[in-house]
Copies of this chain bind each other. A is one copy, B any other.
Amino acid sequence: MTSTAPTMSGLDTPLTPLRFLDRAAEVHPEKQAVIDGDRQLTYGEFAAAATRLAHALRASGIEAGDRVAYLATNSLEMLVAHFGVPLAGGVLVAINTRLAAAEVQYICDHSGAKLLVGEASLLAPLADVSFQTVGEIVETPTLDGQFVGPHLPYSALVDRGNDSPLSWDVADENAIISINYTSGTTGKPKGVMYTHRGAYLSSLGNAVTQGFSAETRYLWTLPMFHCNGWCGPWSVTSTAGTHVCLRAVRGPDMWQLIDAENVNQMSGAPTVLTTLATAGEAHAMTRPLTIATAGAPPSPTIIRAIGNLGITIVHVYGLTETYGPYSVCEAKPSWADLSADDRAVRMARQGVGMLTADRLRVVRPEAAEDGSLIDVASDGVEMGEIVMRGNVVMKGYFEDPERTAEAFAGGWFHSGDLGVMHPDGYVQLLDRAKDVVISGGENISTIEVEQAVLSHPAVLDVAVIGVPDEKWGERPKAYAVLRPGQEATEADVISHVKTQIASYKAPGAVEFVVDLPKTSTGKIRKNELRDEAWGNAKVRIQG
């Protein structure tokens, strides 16, 4: 019987995170939803703003499936976009605000965005850019409500809309809700496609894992352009929690908002933890505060420092391709008996698949004859690649079937991250994806940096790796070989690179070498450079 049993059509409601705002506005219309400086929205106003934006986008020519790009910090408008753009049937493309003009252009062109909405200060560097598909640029207000020009003011955009109700239902839960561009192991950013179903399930998983409720007051220390803020605009809304916007991660601002707005939840890379713990305003909490952290494993040192402030850490792990967190280092009851140091070492592991994810696997480089993947031994020693799959793994790379197929070899998404499986079933990350540096939570493709260094006329060959950095976790370092008879200083190379790509991607150091270690086939042995820079693999991550 099963599938052939009598079924009523239309009974299964397609899953979509739009339902979360629909419900929050229905149940808690008067409840505080968004705080952005002096501007505030109740849930009723939040839903109304999303509805008005959706109408405005449709009136501006946005049709089902059209991409709408945003270049904005954590703001009221960015939260509204997470509901208003898909409510219009559109696809949200939230762009990293730290990218160079050429990179923003690439993302807008590649995604085929019809509209670009952004903050004036972030749009200014794009003055000379000729977009292929963006037909209109819209400027959001500054924190004090000003429009500095020269673009269409956001207020004029939303004036094209109206307040007539729109259905929050979607026809297809597997439709795309957003595309997030990520720097992977190759130079050009890849457009990671999220579906309504995946965003819904990831949001519920996060809500259970982080314990979101109507009492949640969530400080936006995580950029919303990173994996749609780990689906936070949707998951915090699922329980009608309160969003507290933060436009730049500075210690004093964080503490001021934590205290003034009774913040009890936030998320961020370990650098956020460091900023928090080392701020002059840092003080022990007298009420619960939980921070979900990912992007790099938090060191036992920072875990202890945060613990001393009375703050709880939830260590999660994932990638842009997994809607943000895929796994969580869920504490076992038996860990309560461990010393603080031993517990911190376990807490630094990447753990197990979250509730709405599938398992986390670590597999051997060589697949079986039938193409299936082979797990490494669960001995905490044999290294392999971490792979994931399921509802909270992306639908694919936008208009890139080749790299999509490559990423899903064997039916699982290949993270590129190397790790081990401990006997208790918990995964530990041992080595980064070979060609990505994670600096302050940002993915930097070493290949992209290498190409920028190589574009300097005096450089013949180069290898870029991540090296330890106290503040950022890692920073790119370049090993450059100069062309015979040419000269260049470290400063020359770095300033040249900054004309090519975002400043934060530029190497912190350039070391000139006579030649680079290579394999017999000519491939650079980056592991030799890394071993020299880091000592050994385990220290590399846990340091």
A contacts, CB < 8 Å to B: 1-3, 5-8, 10-13, 15, 19-20, 22-23, 26-31, 64-65, 91, 172, 174-176, 193, 197, 204, 207-208, 211, 213-214, 238-239, 330, 332-334, 352-353, 355-356, 358-359, 389-391, 393, 395-401, 404-405, 408, 411, 425
Collect the chain B residues with CB atoms within 8 Å of residue A15's CB: 391
Q: Most chain-B CB neighbours within 10 Å: which of A1, A5, A7, A393?
A: A5
Partner of A30, one of B1, B193, B334: B334
Would you call A65 and B353 a contact (CB within 8 A)?
no
Would you call B214 and A204 a contact (CB within 8 A)?
no
Complex Cα spacing A176 to B6, Å: 11
Sampled A-B contacts (5; CB under 8 Å): A1-B398, A2-B91, A5-B176, A6-B401, A11-B393
Shortest CB–CB separation between residue A296 and chain B, in angstroms?
Answer: 23
Shortest CB–CB separation between residue A371 and chain B, in angstroms?
Answer: 13
Would you call A352 and B27 a contact (CB within 8 A)?
yes
Complex Cα spacing A35 to B382, Å: 38
Partner of A2, one of B176, B352, B397: B176
Partner of A64, one of B2, B31, B425: B2
Collect the chain B residues with CB atoms within 8 Å of residue A12's CB: 174, 197, 390-391
Contact A6-B396, Cβ < 8 Å, known A11-B408, A208-B239, A389-B13: yes
Shortest CB–CB separation between residue A106 and chain B, in angstroms?
Answer: 18
Complex Cα spacing A105 to B273, Å: 63
Complex Cα spacing A13 to B358, Å: 8
Partner of A176, one of B1, B332, B397: B1
Contacts beyond the supplied A7-B174, A13-B389, A27-B330: 16 A-B pairs with Cβ under 8 Å: A1-B91, A2-B91, A5-B395, A11-B390, A11-B393, A12-B197, A12-B390, A13-B390, A15-B391, A19-B358, A20-B355, A28-B332, A31-B332, A204-B208, A204-B355, A208-B238
Shortest CB–CB separation between residue A201 and chain B, in angstroms?
Answer: 8
Collect the chain B residues with CB atoms within 8 Å of residue A400's CB: 6
Shortest CB–CB separation between residue A392 and chain B, in angstroms?
Answer: 9
Would you call A396 and B7 a contact (CB within 8 A)?
yes
Shortest CB–CB separation between residue A141 and chain B, in angstroms?
Answer: 29
Shortest CB–CB separation between residue A495 and chain B, in angstroms?
Answer: 40
Would you call B174 and A3 a contact (CB within 8 A)?
yes
**Closest Cβ neighbor of A355 among chain B residues:** B238
The 3 closest A-B pairs by CB, nearest first: A13-B390, A2-B175, A2-B65
Collect the chain B residues with CB atoms within 8 Å of residue A64's CB: 2
Collect the chain B residues with CB atoms within 8 Å of residue A214's CB: 330, 333
Complex Cα spacing A483 to B389, Å: 70
Collect the chain B residues with CB atoms within 8 Å of residue A359's CB: 22-23, 26
Would you call A395 and B8 a contact (CB within 8 A)?
yes
**Closest Cβ neighbor of A89 among chain B residues:** B2
Would you call A395 and B13 a contact (CB within 8 A)?
no
Would you call B23 and A355 a contact (CB within 8 A)?
yes
Shortest CB–CB separation between residue A15 and chain B, in angstroms?
Answer: 8
Complex Cα spacing A197 to B201, Å: 12
Complex Cα spacing A31 to B28, Å: 37
Would you call B172 and A2 a contact (CB within 8 A)?
yes
Would you call B408 and A8 a contact (CB within 8 A)?
yes
Shortest CB–CB separation between residue A200 and chain B, in angstroms?
Answer: 9
Complex Cα spacing A26 to B425, Å: 7
Collect the chain B residues with CB atoms within 8 Å of residue A197's CB: 12
Complex Cα spacing A334 to B29, Å: 11
Contact A425-B390, Cβ < 8 Å, known A7-B174, A396-B6, A404-B6: no
Complex Cα spacing A355 to B397, Å: 30
Q: Most chain-B CB neighbours within 10 Å: which of A10, A11, A91, A353?
A: A11
Collect the chain B residues with CB atoms within 8 Å of residue A211's CB: 213
Complex Cα spacing A408 to B8, Å: 8
Complex Cα spacing A7 to B401, Å: 9
Shortest CB–CB separation between residue A165 and chain B, in angstroms?
Answer: 13
**Closest Cβ neighbor of A22 among chain B residues:** B359
Collect the chain B residues with CB atoms within 8 Å of residue A3's CB: 172, 174-175
**Closest Cβ neighbor of A238 among chain B residues:** B355
**Closest Cβ neighbor of A353 among chain B residues:** B23
Complex Cα spacing A408 to B9, Å: 10
Contact A352-B396, Cβ < 8 Å, known A6-B404, A176-B1, A408-B11: no
Collect the chain B residues with CB atoms within 8 Å of residue A13's CB: 358, 389-391
Shortest CB–CB separation between residue A65 and chain B, in angstroms?
Answer: 4
**Closest Cβ neighbor of A32 among chain B residues:** B333
